[in-house]
């Protein structure tokens, strides 16, 4: 045990600047072994981009990195038994005459209307795809628990589906929500919650803020945001977001998150726009929102912004629950059904249980 642990000192890199997720005693050992395969159990070399990099350099980096992330998640999902789920697709006309691909997952034996989970994938609103193996499986798992799940292939800030800065992706997600709401009877859904992890957590909240500001908040019955990437304050972390220092480099780096923010908002003109960065919301922005469930990971640099946002919701009179998934890195509870199966399944149950509760 480290000296600062014995003396009750600060956790993570606040107590030991050389700490990494593999040596932090809080980390679930199963997660360490899974990360070791990809060398992610130790602190990586600093990313070549940061908030101070040029917009063009950020785009180039994330275009290259997108494929590497997809290969890693493919490996985490290798040789899984297929689930009994019915899949279909729909192409929606987007707000800028663009096409939005929707993936619909439902139980094969569905009878009657079910709660709907509108899912927005992670990737900092900048890379990754709803069509990726890990997200297809995640939505299958949610559908198996008695929900209809719709994955949205929104425009990214960079990568294969880029380069589309804010608010392109948000507008696509809003269009998908309005379509689902207008087609509830055809889709056999009783209510709709938004959900997603990391950048998808941002979009899950931001869509609700957009809906409220435009007068159609009744389309959403709840928001389940996982490890939400919502502050935009990665170049100069404020003191209240100490997890950015405590867990920096624990699979994700603060510098890289700053570069993601640059790709999403190239000129930083939306730094105080709650629909771009929900953490900046005022009490008036939040009043009247539907119930929220904010899930954060103990060993995530983003942990404290999720907790802080939950506290803002409560102060604004919004029903909100905040849950910390112990021993896990950023998004560690949904990384794979093989790595932390009990935690993975518990998170699935939390989401589907919340969706059902919001239907009442």
Statement: residue 1 has pLDDT above 80: no
**Is 235 domain-assigned?**
yes
Residue pair 273/261 in contact (Cβ under 8 Å)? The answer is no
Quick check: 6 pLDDT over 60?
no
Inside any domain, residue 252: yes
**CATH number of 51's domain:** 3.40.50.1820
Amino acid 48: pLDDT: 93
pLDDT for res 339 = 95
9 confidence band (pLDDT: 50, 70, 90): confident
Are 21 and 329 contacting, i.e. CB atoms less than 8 angstroms apart?
yes
* Closest to 65 in 3D by CA, of 124, 12, 107, 110: 124
Range of the domain at 324: 27-358
Residue 80 placed within a domain = yes
* Range 161-180 average pLDDT: 98
What confidence score (pLDDT) does residue 44 get?
Answer: 80
In a domain, 14, yes or no: no
Burial (Cβ within 10 Å: 0-12, 13-18, ≥19) of residue 275: buried
Question: pLDDT-derived band of residue 7, with 50, 70 and 90 as boundaries?
Answer: very low
Q: Is residue 171 domain-resident?
A: yes
Mean pLDDT to the nearest integer, 286-314: 98
Residue 22, in any domain of the structure: no
Whether the Cβ atoms of residue 214 and residue 345 lie closer than 8 Å to each other:
no
Per-residue pLDDT of 186-212, as tens digits, reads 999 999 999 999 999 999 999 999 999
Per the structure, the count of domains in the chain is 1
**Token duo for residue 30:** 């199963």
Q: What is the DSSP letter of 107?
A: E
59 part of a folded domain: yes
Q: Is residue 112 part of a domain?
A: yes
Asked if residue 4 has pLDDT above 80, the reply is no
pLDDT tens, position by position, 66-110 = 999 999 999 999 999 999 999 999 999 999 999 999 999 999 999
CA 105, 107, 112, 114 dihedral sign is negative
Torsion (CA) 194, 199, 205, 210 in degrees, nearest 10: -100
Burial 227-242 (b: 16+ CB within 10 A, else e): bbbbbbbbbebeeebb
**Helices of type H across the chain:** 3-6, 12-15, 29-36, 55-76, 133-144, 168-182, 184-187, 199-214, 243-246, 254-264, 283-286, 303-315, 341-358
CB within 8 Å of 45: residues ≥ 6 apart: none
CB atoms within 10 A of CB 100: 21
CA angle, 323 then 328 then 330, to 5°:
85
Mean pLDDT of 39-62: 92
Give the mean pLDDT of the chain.
Answer: 95
């Amino acid at each position: 045990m480290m000296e600062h642990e014995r003396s009750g000192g600060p956790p993570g890199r606040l107590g030991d600047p050389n700490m990494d997720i593999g040596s932090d005693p809080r980390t679930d050992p199963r997660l360490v072994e899974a990360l070791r395969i990809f060398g992610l159990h130790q602190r990586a070399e600093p990313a070549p981009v940061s908030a101070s990099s040029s917009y063009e350099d950020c785009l180039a980096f994330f275009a290259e990195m997108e494929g590497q992330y997809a290969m890693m998640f493919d490996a985490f999902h290798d040789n899984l038994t297929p689930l009994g789920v019915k899949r279909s697709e729909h192409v929606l006309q987007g707000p800028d005459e663009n096409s939005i691909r929707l993936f619909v997952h439902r139980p094969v034996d569905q009878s009657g209307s079910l709660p709907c989970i509108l899912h927005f994938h992670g990737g900092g609103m900048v890379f990754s795809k709803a069509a990726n193996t890990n997200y297809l499986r995640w939505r299958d798992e949610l559908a198996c628990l008695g929900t209809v799940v719709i994955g949205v292939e929104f425009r990214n800030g960079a990568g294969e589906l880029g380069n589309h800065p804010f608010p392109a992706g948000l507008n696509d997600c809003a269009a998908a929500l309005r379509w689902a709401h207008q087609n509830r009877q055809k889709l056999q859904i009783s209510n709709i919650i938004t959900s997603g992890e990391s950048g998808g957590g941002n979009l899950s909240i931001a869509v609700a803020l957009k809906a409220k500001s435009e007068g159609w908040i009744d389309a959403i019955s709840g928001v389940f945001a996982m490890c939400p990437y919502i502050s935009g304050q990665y170049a100069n972390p404020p003191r209240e977001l100490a997890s950015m220092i405590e867990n920096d480099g624990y699979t994700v780096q603060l510098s890289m998150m700053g570069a993601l923010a640059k790709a999403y908002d190239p000129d930083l003109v939306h730094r105080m726009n709650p629909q771009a960065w929900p953490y900046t919301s005022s009490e008036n922005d939040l009043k009247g929102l539907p119930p929220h469930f904010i899930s954060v990971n103990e060993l995530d640099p983003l942990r404290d912004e999720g907790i802080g946002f939950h506290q803002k919701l409560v102060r604004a009179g919004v029903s909100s629950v905040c849950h910390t998934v112990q021993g896990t890195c950023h998004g560690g509870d949904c990384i794979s059904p093989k790595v932390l199966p009990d935690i993975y399944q518990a998170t699935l149950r939390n989401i589907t249980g919340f969706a059902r509760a919001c239907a009442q």
